[in-house]
Structure 1
Amino acid sequence: NELKEIETKLASYVVELNVMQWMEQDLAQHLDLAYVLEIGLKHILPISGADCGFIITTDNNTLKIAHSKGNDCNVKKLTASQKKVLKQVMESREIMTVGDMQDMPDAAPLDKEARACVAIPLVTHERVLGALVLESRTPHRFSESMVEFISLLASRLAAALDNAILYEQIGQQFEELQRLYEQVQELEQLKTDMIRIASHDLRGPMATVLGFAELIGWQDENTNLTPQQVDYMREITQAVRRMQSIVNDFLSVERVEETAKGRTFGHIDLRALVIQAADEYQTRAAHHGQHWQEDIHKKPVWVFGDPAQLYEAISNLLSNAIKYTPRGGTVTLRLTIEDDEWALFEVEDSGLGVPLEQQGELFRPFFRAVNVRKNKIEGTGLGLHLVKKIIDRHGGQIVFRSVEGVGSTFGFLLKLDNNKRKK
């Protein structure tokens, strides 16, 4: 008899080990939540001898039946009394075993015909995910040793359930991010389309208006225009040119934003770009009655970047210096080498300067300082924003100093292309 008892126990242990192994293998196959719930009850229900099995989960403190399996287990919702009992199990984190429901007036079985029940909290990493509920229509169906074994399976189920829930949450977050990305893409496309409209539909009419306005202006000596009408034509011409400047600024910002990250940059002699820009803007400074000074490095200054974008950044800084410097003021251009590692380009002016309290906003798009608006100096507030985007794209740093009423210095630092210098 003792030998048979030992053989029976060994056989039972083998069955339990096989169930644990098969369940472990199946749970490792997928992270899908529905799959994990089904596999859990598929293995636990037969070995336990239960007629019905339920996995209860909690979502924002709300209990629900996540999955059920067994004979006539069609329960979809929990009653208030069932929720109360399950909450006690989950809060205490202790297993509840009922040998015969008829001996417990307060019992709230999920299966109306159930006589025996075991409820095991599903706990992993100190977090309660829900509960495993097994019910049998046979009284005292769940022995102490069986409950102990089921609790081992429940702990493995809890770990797999935790991973599946996390996987599902990540999937939902990914879908949300993908949806937001698609919305951003649509908005980007809309913005691009609107700027293209500005390029195509605005530039043409403006060029026509400007052309005829300048033509009338050239011929005003041979026309019967009154001095007032000549002034009107001059204002029309200036207004159209301002509109062209605004459109050009918008297109410049868009061009920088749309430049692909993988765009091929090249070896550039920054000194050559600065000299080219200096030749152009020195003449403009002279027309404005300003003094022009320059200090340009004597040898090539090699950097790695996009020549069109860098020339645009240089031009913007020179144009601003001339625009905000009064007649008789000084514009100074400098290109030097710093610490044998950086190329430093600066434009210093003796213009209005920027109020200290507004300097933090200077590179924000459409920002214009108070003193600039008071002096009615035209502009879009996009130039410095454009320069910063270009320099950021090139891995450089913006240089800025200003004292209101004294003047400003704007510029940038770019890493020297030492490979090109060595060649």
Structure 2
Amino acid sequence: MPELDVAVLTSPQRLRAVASARRELPVLPVPLDGMARMAARMLRTPMAVVTLVQGGEEEFLGLFGLPEPFAATRRAALQFSLCAFVVCADDVVAVDDTLAEERLREHPVVRQWGVRSFAGIPLHDTDGQPVGAITVIDIAHRSWTAPDLTRLTYIADMLGPIPAGTPSAEAAMDLLCTDHRGTGPQPAAGVAAQAQVQQAFIEALLDSLQVGVVACDRDRRPVVVNRMMRHLFGLHDGISREEALTAGLARVHHLDGTPIAPDELVVTRALNGETVRDAASMLCTPGAPDRYLLVNGQPLHDHDGNRLGAVSTVLDITGRRRNERFRDCQLRVARILNSSDTVEQAAPRLLSAVGEALGWQHVGLWLIDDVADVARPAGHWEAPGVHIEDLIPQRLTRNDPGLVGTAWATGRPIWIADLATTTSTDPRLRDFIAAAVHRDLRTAVAIPICENDTALAVLVCLSALGEHDDAPLIGLLTDIAEQIGRLLARRRAAELDLQLASAKDDFLTLISHELRTPLTTVLACTSMLADDPQVDPDTRQMLATVTRSTTAVQRIIDELIDLAGIESGHHPLHKRATDLVTVVTGALAAAPHPDDIEIHTDLPPSLVVDGDPGRLRQIVDHLLSNAIKYSPRGGDVRISLSADRGDVAELAITDTGIGIPEADRAGLFTRFHRAGNARHTAVTGTGLGLALVRALVEAHGGTVTHDPAHHPGTRITVRLPR
């Protein structure tokens, strides 16, 4: 637990050192606010300070992210100080959670500003006196690591021991505060100290950048190869700048893979006086994926225009290019699937698009036959020079221990980052892995393609490079798998539709041949028996009942066959100019007219449409029959006919009957559907009438709708093009 030591804080010797440091620190060639900002960013904290701790207060010589009261005055009473703990300890202080420390729990910055953790390094003068600290502060719990504290120590070392208050120190301060350009020789010790501090700051600044930086002097010797540049080149920090630059530039190639000649390198062109902007190149490192770079370069000059050297910056755009390539692949796959009827037809182009986008060596697609419970290859793509057809079996089972079987059985993606280190007790998988490794394949991925937790297919990819499970790559493969899954689902739905259509045709064939013919025979026999004068009255009555029932069944069969023929197009319409008024009046004349139901009409003199008069009569007959059947005694049936905007004829039939319950409205115009309230009446029905009306209206290019707002009763509206 950090402690405050009043004796340390009020020591006269330390306070004299603080006073001297207060003169020295602000004039160092290092911006102290910049040092605080660097510390915060390198340790990922919202706040950082460079402070001097005096007897009763601390002074913020450098700060970043502090609350406004402290930022404005750049001072704080000692009771608010965290750096005082560092000064008293005269050592590294790291607190992971202030709320867990009894002494810190009630500290003002904890209660008022929510500070949860901090870490600090003391700053010393050349006599070893602790005069202040550089401290990073966070409002979240932190577990400070050894690398964190090493970075903080490195930043503190950049400030170096602060010169003590001696005559030589005063002279050094004058040296640092004065612009000496154009004056005589400067004290060697002061210039060396200044150069050392400047160099440390610049190196730390360049190493913190997220772009690679190379700088060469006029003699073409490298003076800067920053940490990011070494990281891009795949080199460690221990080698010299010359070795790093030589090894790295040898790996830079044109986008077509050919090496870049030394005089074509951006840094060389900049040394020759050329300014280069956004030159694209490729970094080829053995054993690692190629990376894409965007390189800039420009010459450096002094104030008099003399060339000092050149600087080149390198930005790694591999991720950006890969995301663009993945997006193009997704669009390409979507176009291929939309233009294909089957996955087998799409497979060659689809797998080629995926393989080229990934830059992998093999992509294969396996379709699952759920009837045989096996998976069979639908196609595969291989990069030039890669041949693994002999490793692909012609069928796999769900229990196969390989990629396909595991992804199929689990329904989850399988990722093997390094086949060479994978072990298996199953000889089949072991043999495959050995053969794949022998052919320089390293990484394997299998993505199941599912619908409602049922596996339809498996997408398999193999790479010659070690690839890690990363989100963009999984996202691409998952998206492609989903697109393939949708096509497979559509194909399954289409196959089901064909099966249903075939079953319907078989059913209609059964009805027309196996039922219709016997019914015709029954009707003929009953008619002959009824005509026999020797039949007694009771038998004649039973024959009449048989005839009525058989006729009703035959009418249902005729309507089913008629409906199927209309929907399939086997019963074409015979259109001609037809007056709907004549059709409606004919239907009214033939319809039953119960004495207790009033029928009202609102018809124009004439309304001609292009339609089949017989089929139009069927539409009106069915709608009028329903309206009359379901209307109570004393009810009203209204028929209106009008031209809507001149190009549409609108027929509306309204009744005051039992209406359509809300739950039955969605299936009103489907086969064999009868509303719940209709089934509980004495009125008979088959549920085919409105389905036949819908089919006939749609065959004419029109629409039929039910008005849910009409009450009481039902309102059906038919709209037909004229």
TM bucket by the smaller chain? 0.5 to 0.7
Q: Which amino acid aligns with 2:283?
A: L
Change (3 A) 1:355 1:38: closer
Work out which of the residue numbers 338, 353, 374 in structure 1 matches 2:658: 353
Query: What SS is found at the alignment partner of 2:552?
Result: helix
The alignment status of 1:335 with 2:601, answered yes or no, reads no
Q: Deviations over 1:76-114 (max 9, x none)?
A: 469xxxxxxxxxxxxxxxxxxxxxxxxxxxxxxxx9xxx
The reply on whether 1:31 has 2:354 as its aligned counterpart is yes
- Give the AA of the match of 2:535: N
Return the match for 1:225 from 533, 536, 544: 536
Q: 1:154-175: per-residue Cα shift (whole Å, max 9, x none)? A: 6999756643443244224422
In structure 2, C-alpha distance between the alignment counterparts of 1:387 and 1:212, rounded to whole Å: 34
**The residue matched to 1:343 in structure 2 has which SS?**
strand
Show the counterpart of 1:93. none
The alpha-carbon distance between structure 1 residues 338 and 154, as it changes in their structure 2 partners (threshold 3 A), is: same
Cα distance change, pair 65–293 in 1 and its aligned pair in 2 (3 A): same
Match of 1:396 among 703, 714, 717: 703
Pick the structure with greater CA Rg: 2
Contact residue 336 and residue 344 of structure 1 kept, 8 A: yes
How is 1:2-41 mapped onto 2 (pairs within 5 angstroms)?
5=243, 6-14=245-253, 17=283, 20=290, 30-32=353-355, 36-38=359-361
Find the aligned partners of 1:174 and 1:359 in 2 and give their Cα distance: 33
Does the CA contact (< 8 Å) of 1:285 and 1:292 recur in 2? Answer: no
**Residue in structure 1 matched with residue 685 of structure 2 by the alignment:** 379
Aligned to 1:271: 579
2:626 to 297, 320, 332: 320
Shift of 1:235: 0.9
Of residues 201, 219, 231, the one that matches 2:514 is 201
Residue 356 of structure 1 and its aligned partner are, at CA, apart by 5.0
**Residues 294 and 334 in structure 1, CA contact (< 8 A), matched pair in contact too:** yes
Within 5 Å, give how 1:1-400 maps onto structure 2.
5=243, 6-14=245-253, 17=283, 20=290, 30-32=353-355, 36-38=359-361, 64-65=415-416, 68=419, 73=420, 75-76=422-423, 159=472, 162-217=475-530, 219=531, 222-226=533-537, 228-259=538-569, 269-272=577-580, 275-276=582-583, 278-279=585-586, 282-285=589-592, 294-302=601-609, 309-324=615-630, 333-348=639-654, 352-354=657-659, 360=665, 362-369=668-675, 372-392=678-698, 394-400=701-707
User: Helix, strand or coil: the match of 2:649?
Assistant: strand
Q: TM-score, normalised by structure 1?
A: 0.58
SS in 2 for 1:334: strand
Shift in alpha-carbon separation, 1:280–1:342, aligned structure 2, 3 A: closer
**Aligned partners of 2:639 and 2:671: how far apart in 1?**
25
**Secondary structure of the residue that 1:207 maps to in structure 2?**
helix
Distance in 1 between residues matched to 2:704 and 2:536, nearest whole Å: 53
CA contact (8 A) 2:694 2:703 kept: no
Q: Identity across aligned pairs (percent)?
A: 22
Alpha-carbon spacing, 1:252–1:403, altered in 2? closer, same or farther (3 Å)? farther
Q: Pick closer, same or farther for the CA change 1:35–1:265 going to 2, 3 Å.
A: farther
TM-score by length of 2: 0.36
Alpha-carbon deviation of 1:236? 0.5
Residue 358 to residue 173, structure 1, CA distance change in 2 (3 Å) = closer
Say which structure, 1 or 2, has more relative contact order (CA 8 Å, 6+ apart): 1
Deviation of 1:386 (Å): 2.6
Displacement after TM superposition at 1:372 (Å): 4.3
Q: 1:183 to 1:242 in 2, by over 3 A?
A: same
1:410 pairs with 2:410:
no
Letter in 1 for 2:422: V
SS at match of 1:285: coil
* Aligned amino acid, residue 606 of structure 2: K
What residue number does 2:176 align with?
A: none
Question: Could you say what the CA RMSD is over the residues aligned between the two structures, in angstroms?
Answer: 5.2
SS at match of 1:347: strand
Letter of the structure 2 residue corresponding to residue 65 of structure 1:
I
1:354 aligned partner, one-letter code:
G
> Could you say which residue in structure 1 is the equivalent of 2:234?
none
CA contact (8 A) 1:391 1:412 kept: yes
- Corresponding residue of 1:142: none
Contact 1:295 1:335 in 2 (8 A): yes
Aligned CA distance change for structure 1 residues 282 and 61 (closer, same or farther; 3 Å): closer
Provide closer, same or farther for how the CA distance between residues 330 and 60 of structure 1 changes in structure 2, counting only shifts above 3 A: closer
Q: Quick one: structure 1 residues 215 and 400, their matched pair in 2 at CA, closer, same or farther if it must change by over 3 Å?
A: farther
Gaps of 5+ in 1: 43-56, 79-110, 112-121, 123-131, 135-149, 418-423
Counterpart residue type for residue 302 of structure 1:
V
Partners of 1:370 and 1:298 lie apart in 2 by 39
- Partner Cα separation in structure 1 for residue 558 and residue 514 of structure 2: 13
2: CA distance between counterparts of 1:64 and 1:302?
66
Tell me if the contact between 1:347 and 1:411 (Cα under 8 Å) persists in the aligned partners.
Answer: yes
Instruction: Tell me the SS of whatever aligns to 2:671.
Output: coil
Where structure 2 has 5 or more consecutive residues not aligned to the other structure, the ranges are 1-219, 223-241, 254-258, 260-281, 293-317, 330-351, 364-382, 384-405, 426-433, 435-444, 446-461
CA displacement, residues 21-63 of structure 1 (integer Å, 9 cap, x when unaligned): 79989998630499754379x9xxxxxxxxxxxxxx9987776
Q: 2: distance between equivalents of 1:160 and 1:374?
A: 61
Q: What is the CA-CA distance between 1:238 and the residue it aligns to? A: 1.0
Is 1:293–1:330's contact at 8 Å kept on the other side of the alignment?
Answer: yes
Amino acid at match of 2:608: V
Q: Aligned-pair distance for 1:355?
A: 6.0
Residue 270 of structure 1: CA displacement? 4.8
Contact 2:603–2:640 under 8 Å retained in 1:
yes
Give the total of aligned pairs: 324
AA at the equivalent of 1:167: I
Deviation at 1:389, TM superposition (A): 4.1
Once the two structures are TM-superposed, the CA of residue 277 in structure 1 deviates from its matched residue by: 5.8
Residue 254 of structure 1, CA deviation: 1.8
SS at 2:560's partner residue?
helix
CA distance in structure 2 between the partners assigned to 1:331 and 1:356 by the alignment: 19
